[in-house]
Every structure is written in structure tokens, then in C-alpha cells.
């Protein structure tokens, strides 16, 4: 018969084993990610662009998200695009990597400049083949919401709510005089701030939860209908969205995605765009 002390020791040992086994896979995954990232960087230093892309893409496929990995992946695509071994969509994938780096690290000026240069090169290449270098800016609503982080809009709305509450309390506590007037002004300003910034915070949250940023990674993404049939009379210029264009995925349906590009909406093939990782 097993004593209570032996039973407690056995249970404690089993608990230790379970905890250790739960820790080992994440540690191994982290070590593997570090090794792959190091291998990708080493390949870039040697000018082995295909190898670098394979390593860094494998990292992305495993869910590894880091601005340096995105930036280096973009650099490998840019360098391969300059060689005779370039492939269609290399510059689009470079633009996707740089856009992802900026999503993860918004203050990265080097990535911003590099993204502009990549899109300028895409425009030049399109012009050489007789196609228009189409550049579409985000819709006014998305541009306004994207000016500052969602947390800023929410914080400003909270400040407006506080000002509104304090103003109403002061007006209720003091019936006459300057304090009563000041409370009214504070309440009015707080109400306007709450209304404006609360709306922006709600719009930012809706954008974050209902859409995904993406970039076109093929020479042009043909505009389709819901059945996957090309649409000649589309609202999108020339019925195509050019390589490197930033879009927002708002719906998925099988092998198709519905995207917003500026003020226009269109269906395109899911493999023609790359989703940008968010922080």
C-alpha cells in the first residue's frame, strides 16, 4: 500500500514533468525562430537572396512577427528583383514587408522611405510597359482614423467624458456665479470632445476588428465579381489593382476576398494579396 508521503511525492513529480513539458515546446519554437532569423540574415549578407527569402518566409508562415524580420524580408525581395533571377511580384512582396514593418514600428523612417522608393520603381516599370502608374490614396474616413493610434482617440474621448461629468457636477453644486458658468463651458467642451473623439475611437476599433490591411503582391490583381468572373466595367480604373497597392480586406469568400482600395471596392483572388501583420 502506498503511503500518503509517497503519493504526494509522486504527484509533485508528475506536476513538475507536466510543467516542464509545457515549457519545452515554446522554448524550442523560440530557438528555432532565432536560428531561422539568423540564417536569413546570414544569407542576405552572402547575397543568397533565394535562401534568405525561404528562411524569412518560413518564419512568417510560423507566425513569427517582428519589424526587423519584415524589413529584412523586403530587402531580400528588392535585391532579387534587381537580378536576372527576379520573379513577378517580387517588388509587391517587398512593399508588403515594408508596410508590415511600418505597422509594427510606425516611427521607422528608413522603412517609410524604402516603401516610397519601391512603389516608385513599380510605377516606373508599369510606365515602361504602357500601363498607368496608378496611385490611390486611402478613403477620407480611413485616412482620418489612421492619423493617430486607436488608444489616443479612446484617451481623448475619456478626457471629454471626464470634463463633461465634472462640468455637470459643478453646475449642479454651484447655482450662480463664475463657477456655474465655467462648469457649463466645461460640460459643453467635454460633450463635443466626447462626441468627436468617441466617434473616431469607435471607427478605429471597427476598422481594426472588421478589416485586415493587405498589399497586392502580383503585377496586377484583376477585379472579379463574387463568382470569380472578371468585371470589365468595374469602378476600379482599368479593372485592375496594381502591384504594391495597399488595400483593406473586408470580407472573405472561398478563394476570393473583397477589398477596399481608396473609395472603391472589388473582389480579387486571395492569393493576389498578402495580409499585413498587426502588432
Return d(Cα 271, Cα 46) in angstroms, integer: 30
What's the burial of 101, exposed, middle or buried (CB within 10 Å: 0-12/13-18/19+)?
A: buried
- Tell which CATH architecture fits domain 4-128: Alpha Horseshoe (1.25)
Residue predicted with more confidence, 25 or 51? 51
**DSSP per-residue codes, 15-42:** HHHHHHHHHHHHHHHHHHHHHHHHHHHH
**Cell numbers describing residue 185:** 463651458
User: What does the domain layout of the chain look like in residue ranges?
Assistant: 4-128, 144-210, 212-275
List for the chain the helix, strand, coil content (%; round to 5): 65, 15, 25
CATH number listed for the domain at residues 212-275? 2.30.30.40
Q: How many C-beta atoms surround the C-beta of residue 243 within 10 A?
A: 27
Q: Are 247 and 215 in contact (CB under 8 A)?
A: yes
Same-fold call for 4-128 versus 212-275? no
Model confidence pLDDT, tens digit, residues 103-149: 999 889 999 999 999 999 999 988 887 776 656 666 666 666 667 77
Model confidence pLDDT, tens digit, residues 6-23: 444 444 444 544 444 444
Amino acid at each position: 500500500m502506498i503511503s500518503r508521503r509517497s503519493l504526494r511525492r509522486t504527484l509533485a513529480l508528475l506536476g513538475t514533468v507536466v510543467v516542464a513539458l509545457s515549457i519545452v515546446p515554446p522554448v524550442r519554437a523560440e530557438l528555432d525562430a532565432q536560428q531561422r532569423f539568423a540564417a536569413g540574415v546570414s544569407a542576405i549578407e552572402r547575397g543568397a537572396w533565394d535562401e534568405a527569402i525561404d528562411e524569412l518566409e518560413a518564419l512568417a508562415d510560423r507566425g513569427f512577427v517582428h519589424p526587423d524580420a519584415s524589413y529584412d524580408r523586403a530587402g531580400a525581395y528588392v535585391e532579387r528583383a534587381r537580378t536576372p533571377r527576379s520573379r513577378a511580384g517580387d517588388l509587391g512582396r517587398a512593399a508588403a514587408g515594408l508596410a508590415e514593418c511600418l505597422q509594427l514600428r510606425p516611427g521607422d523612417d528608413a522603412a517609410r522611405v524604402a516603401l516610397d522608393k519601391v512603389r516608385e520603381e513599380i510605377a516606373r516599370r508599369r510606365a515602361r510597359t504602357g500601363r498607368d502608374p496608378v496611385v490611390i490614396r486611402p478613403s477620407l474616413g480611413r485616412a482620418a482614423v489612421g492619423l493617430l493610434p486607436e488608444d489616443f482617440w479612446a484617451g481623448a474621448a475619456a478626457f471629454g467624458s471626464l470634463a463633461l461629468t465634472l462640468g455637470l457636477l459643478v453646475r449642479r453644486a454651484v447655482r450662480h456665479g463664475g463657477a456655474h458658468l465655467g462648469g457649463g463651458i466645461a460640460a459643453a467642451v467635454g460633450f463635443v470632445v466626447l462626441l468627436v473623439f468617441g466617434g473616431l475611437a469607435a471607427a478605429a476599433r471597427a476598422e481594426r476588428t472588421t478589416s485586415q490591411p493587405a498589399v497586392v503582391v502580383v503585377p496586377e490583381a484583376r477585379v472579379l465579381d463574387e463568382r470569380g468572373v472578371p468585371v470589365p466595367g468595374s469602378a476600379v480604373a482599368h479593372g485592375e489593382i496594381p502591384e504594391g497597392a495597399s488595400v483593406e480586406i473586408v470580407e472573405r469568400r472561398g478563394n476570393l476576398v473583397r477589398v477596399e482600395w481608396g473609395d472603391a471596392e472589388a473582389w480579387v483572388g486571395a492569393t493576389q494579396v498578402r495580409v499585413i501583420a498587426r502588432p
